[in-house]
Each structure stands twice: as C-alpha cells, then as structure tokens.
Amino acid sequence: MIMVVPKRVLGIVILIAFVSFTAFSQANTPRYKIGLAFGISGRGDRSFNDSAYDGLVEVARTFNGYFANPADPRHGNELEIKYLTPPNSTIESFSSILRQLAREQYQLIFAIGTEYSTTLPQIAREFPNSQFVLIDATIPNLRPDSNITVVNFKEHEGSFLVGMIAGMKNNGGKVGFIGGMNSELIQKFEYGFRAGVIYSNPELKKAGQVLVEYIGNTVDAFNNPNRAYQIARNMYQQGATIIFHAAGASGLGVFRAARERKQWAIGVDSDQGMVLENDRNPELRELAPWILTSMLKRVNRPVFALSRDFIRSGKIQERYQNYGFNFDAIGFAINDRNREILGKDVNQRVIDIRAQIGSGQFQVPSTRREFDDWIKTLN
C-alpha cells in the first residue's frame, strides 16, 4: 500500500531536514583555517619540519582544532589545520602547494624554509586575503601593510653553545661541522659553532682542527643522508671525535657514521637524541646513544605564537620577527640521558655564557667577517 503524505506535513519534514542540515554544516565549519607548507624533507625529518609540526599540534590542542590530514589528531571543530609537502625541489612545486592552501581559503599560511623566499611575494600578491609567514628566510623591504611576516632565528648563538660543548668534550681530537645547503643561513650555524669551539678550547684554533664541509648548494642538500654519511665518515677517519650537523634530514647520515665509528655527534633543531630514542624504528633508536646533545631551534614556538596572535586579533603586527633566547626558541639539549655525560662543569659554563649572550654582554659572530674579527680579540 502506498502512503500519501499531505503536502503540509511533507513541507514541514523538508523544512526540519533543511534546518538540521544547515545547523550541522554551521557546527562543522571551522572559524579559522591555518595551513603549513613544509620544507623539502617534509614531516618525519626528526628535526626542523617536525618541530614546526609540533607547533601545529599545540595550536590544535589549545584552540579546539583538527587536522584536515588523515590520521592526525582532532581536538575540536573550531580550527582547521592542513599541511603539505612539496613533491620535489622545483620552484613550481613550492608555488603549487602555497597556491593550493590559499585557494582552499586558509587564512594563515606558514612557509617553512628558504626555498619559499623566491616564490612567496608573488603568491602573496595573488591572494591578499591570506596572511603568510615565511620562516627561516629573508624578504627585504616589506611594507607595514604587507600580508607577509618573516621569521628568523639567532642560530649562531645556539651554535656557539654546542660549539663550546664540542670543544670541551672532544677528547683531544678534531671537531667537525657538516652543513646542508651552503647558504648565509647555514653559515650562521658554522661560524657560531666554530667560535664556540675555539672559545672553550683554544688549542682547536690551529689550522685543520675544525673540519667544515657542506653537502651541496641546493635545498636537496637537506634531504641527502647518504652524502652526509660519507662526509661524516671521512671526518671521523681524519681524526674528528665529534661532529655537529646543520643539515635537516641529512643529519641521520651523520648519526649513522657516529654509531659506526663510536664517536659523538651533535644534532640540530629538535632534541634529536631523545627524538630518536623514542622512535618507532629500532634502527633509528640505535643511533640515539651517539648524539651528545643538540642545538635547539624551536620552530614550534613562532608557529604557535603567531597562530595564537592571528586567532585572537585576526592579524600579525610585526613584519619582521627574530627569535633567540627569548621564548626559549634557541638553546641546547639537556635531558636525563645526557646530563651526567656532559657533566656539571660543562653544563654550568655553557649556561653562564648563555646568560651573557642573552643580556648582550657577549657577542657571537654569524658571518665570516665577524668571525675573523672575533678571532683577533682572543689574541
């Protein structure tokens, strides 16, 4: 038997369904959308990009957000977060994922790494309704009303601290530095580190005592652990007893060589010793004991702080921001695993210098010219 529903009743049913659907849609429409474009090595580098991801997770927890990416945590419906990784190292791939996030109406978009500095200004002009944050690169002459904010770090200061540690824990051997892409940014790590080594151990001022090599001249250098392994192995064979890397995901190759040669390595960005100690991959867990400490560059701090500011006020005030010991964005890793290995004397001496640098009493070189001038002050 076919039941005939009166038009009036049918109309009420349709109205209820429409109101219910509308209410459901509104309840599930986020108030804010934040996107992030990773650097070339993407999430899972146990370093720079993973630190940025940690900032996103903190944003989601604090502001009731969820990830549009499958299998990522969900803490609420008020904020949508999405991250993308460039498929390759071409300018087109960096541009395409930024445009994708902007077209999907993400209001705040982070671009992680120097590889975005070339393409971001054009994309920001194309999408004036999105606010962009470029981390770890430079765009000169931004206007106060620009929709780009540039964030940099005082990497040379943190590198000086781990350089001091390397100079004090080298056991009479040489010290090595392996950089990723040979650029002004990574040279800040190098010269800060070299200064710290020599400051804590003047014997290493002699020629050939601090070994330096870069993996390459393009952003691919941050994702080449095999090449980093070869460089590190050669340095250890030349007498290095400890190597500091500033090479992103390539640093895993340095740790492999350290384990093989039973020598120390120093990580970067994240506390890589603890990160690898807790990794699901047993082969990576075996690398952790050979990581003496890490130069901490907490990319999560500006990711969280700027997201918070944007959510609260709808804008970011300053176009140029520089993170150092403020916000605890730069430092060195002390944890339960390495505290005794470093020793109280080493820890205290480094902490004392950190305080002097933070107060402005002690200046750390960040370029070749500054390093050369700084060396003369030691004579």
CB 330 within 8 A of CB 296: yes
- In a shared domain, residues 76 and 39: yes
The set of residues, in sequence order, having a beta carbon less than 8 Å from that of 201 and lying 6+ positions away, is 167, 168, 170
3-state SS class at 151: strand
CA atoms within 13 A on the CB side of 287: 24
Asked whether the predicted pLDDT for residue 86 surpasses 70, the reply is yes
Give residue 261's pLDDT.
97
Tell me the sheet residues that pair with 74.
66
- In a shared domain, residues 125 and 212: no
Percent residues over pLDDT 70 in the chain: 92
Instruction: Answer yes or no: is 66 within a domain.
Output: yes
The set of residues, in sequence order, having a beta carbon less than 8 Å from that of 35 and lying 6+ positions away, is 81, 82, 83, 84, 101, 102, 104, 106, 108, 109, 110
Give residue 288's pLDDT.
96
Asked whether the predicted pLDDT for residue 127 surpasses 50, the reply is yes
pLDDT tens digits, 347-377: 999 999 999 999 999 999 999 999 999 999 8
CB 267 within 8 A of CB 295: yes
Range of the domain at 74: 32-153+301-323
Mean pLDDT, all residues of the chain: 91
Asked whether the predicted pLDDT for residue 183 surpasses 90, the reply is yes
Instruction: Please report which helix (H) or strand (E) contains residue 158, including its range.
Output: helix 155-168
Asked whether the predicted pLDDT for residue 18 surpasses 50, the reply is no
Which ranges constitute the DSSP H helices of the chain?
A: 7-27, 48-62, 91-103, 120-126, 155-168, 184-200, 225-237, 251-261, 272-277, 282-285, 300-313, 339-342, 344-359, 368-376
- In a shared domain, residues 98 and 109: yes
CB 347 within 8 A of CB 334: yes
Instruction: Answer yes or no: is 258 within a domain.
Output: yes
Asked whether the predicted pLDDT for residue 25 surpasses 70, the reply is no
- In a shared domain, residues 223 and 350: yes
Rounded mean pLDDT of 254-272?
Answer: 97
3-state SS class at 76: coil
Rounded mean pLDDT of 78-88?
Answer: 95
Which of left, alpha, beta for 318 (phi over 0: left; psi -120 to 50: alpha)? beta
Residue 110 belongs to domain with CATH number: 3.40.50.2300
Instruction: Answer yes or no: is 270 within a domain.
Output: yes
- In a shared domain, residues 219 and 126: no
Give the distance, in angstroms, between the CA of residue 87 and the centroid of all CA atoms in the same chain: 19
- In a shared domain, residues 112 and 249: no
Instruction: Answer yes or no: is 212 within a domain.
Output: yes
Length of the chain: 379
- In a shared domain, residues 283 and 249: yes
CB 266 within 8 A of CB 242: yes
- In a shared domain, residues 130 and 184: no
What whole-number distance in Å separates Cα of residue 196 and Cα of residue 364? 9
Give residue 369's pLDDT.
97
Which ranges constitute the DSSP H helices of 28-90?
A: 48-62
Instruction: Answer yes or no: is 21 within a domain.
Output: no
184-200 and 155-168 helices, crossing angle to 10°: 40
Domain count, the chain: 2
What whole-number distance in Å separates Cα of residue 292 and Cα of residue 81? 35
- In a shared domain, residues 122 and 197: no
Highest mean pLDDT: which range of 4-18, 42-56, 165-179? 165-179
- In a shared domain, residues 164 and 145: no
Rounded mean pLDDT of 102-128?
Answer: 96
- In a shared domain, residues 238 and 127: no
Instruction: Answer yes or no: is 167 within a domain.
Output: yes
To the nearest 5 percent, what fractions of the chain are helix, strand and coil? 50, 20, 30
This prediction has a pTM of 0.87
Instruction: Answer yes or no: is 169 within a domain.
Output: yes
Give residue 28's pLDDT.
66
Give residue 70's pLDDT.
87
CB 31 within 8 A of CB 79: yes
CB 246 within 8 A of CB 166: no
What whole-number distance in Å separates Cα of residue 335 and Cα of residue 293? 9
Rounded mean pLDDT of 214-235?
Answer: 96
φ, ψ of residue 104 to 5 degrees: the values are: -85, 10
pLDDT tens digits, 138-169: 999 999 999 999 999 999 999 999 999 999 99
Rounded mean pLDDT of 251-270?
Answer: 97
CB 375 within 8 A of CB 198: yes
Instruction: Answer yes or no: is 131 within a domain.
Output: yes
- In a shared domain, residues 222 and 353: yes
pLDDT tens digits, 279-334: 999 999 999 999 999 999 999 999 999 999 999 998 898 899 999 998 889 999 99
